Amino acid sequence: MSLSFIRTNSKDYIFIDLVSKLDEDLAVRDGEVHSFYHQYNSIEGLDYVVIVLKEKEGIGCGVIKPYNIDSVEIKRMFVVDSYRGQRIATEILEKLEEWALELGYTRAILETGLSNPEAITLYKRCGYGIINNYDQYAGMENSICFAKQLA
């Protein structure tokens, strides 16, 4: 399977389409707490977006967003159902980490929901460790936060 990993931004129409599919998936997974999380997932002004294309079809995405002087936050990770289980998310995460390092960041943080066990497995497998829930996720029982030192 020949895949292309493209660096873009949040104005990319393929990214916008993928995010709408991600939001549909999260609305089902998160149930009634989805609206709480949704308010923190605006895609306006995101400059560091990776999309994955198979031929010209968008099949996955991820974002790094500056968090502080040393850290980026990984957001909007998604792979279309029919392409899951093929390590595409791992490759997206690697591309985001590489980009973060190029930009001078040394740490990545992220949040996912307990209703997303595939993501939890992915992050643990890729070397992310559980941290205390940060910022808006503090006190959210459905959230689990991770961090990784980038090398």
CATH number for the domain including 20? 3.40.630.30
Rg over CA atoms, the chain:
14
Q: What is the mean pLDDT of residues 61-68?
A: 97
Residues 150 and 106: beta-carbon distance below 8 Å:
yes
What is the average pLDDT across 86-106?
Answer: 97
Closest CA to 115 of 19, 28, 30: 30
Query: Taking all residues of the chain, what is their mean pLDDT, rounded to a whole number?
Result: 90
According to the model, what pLDDT value does residue 114 have? 87
Average pLDDT over residues 9-13: 96
Q: Which structural domain, as residue segments, surrounds residue 21?
A: 3-149
141 pLDDT band, cuts 50/70/90, is confident
Give pLDDT tens digits for 35-63: 555 555 667 889 999 999 999 999 999 99
- Provide the domain count of the chain: 1
Number of DSSP helices (H) and strands (E) in the chain, helices first: 4, 7
Look at strands 107-113 and 143-149 and give their pairing.
antiparallel
The total number of residues shown for the chain amounts to: 151
Model confidence band, residue 22 (pLDDT cutoffs 50, 70, 90): confident
Residue 29: per-residue pLDDT: 61
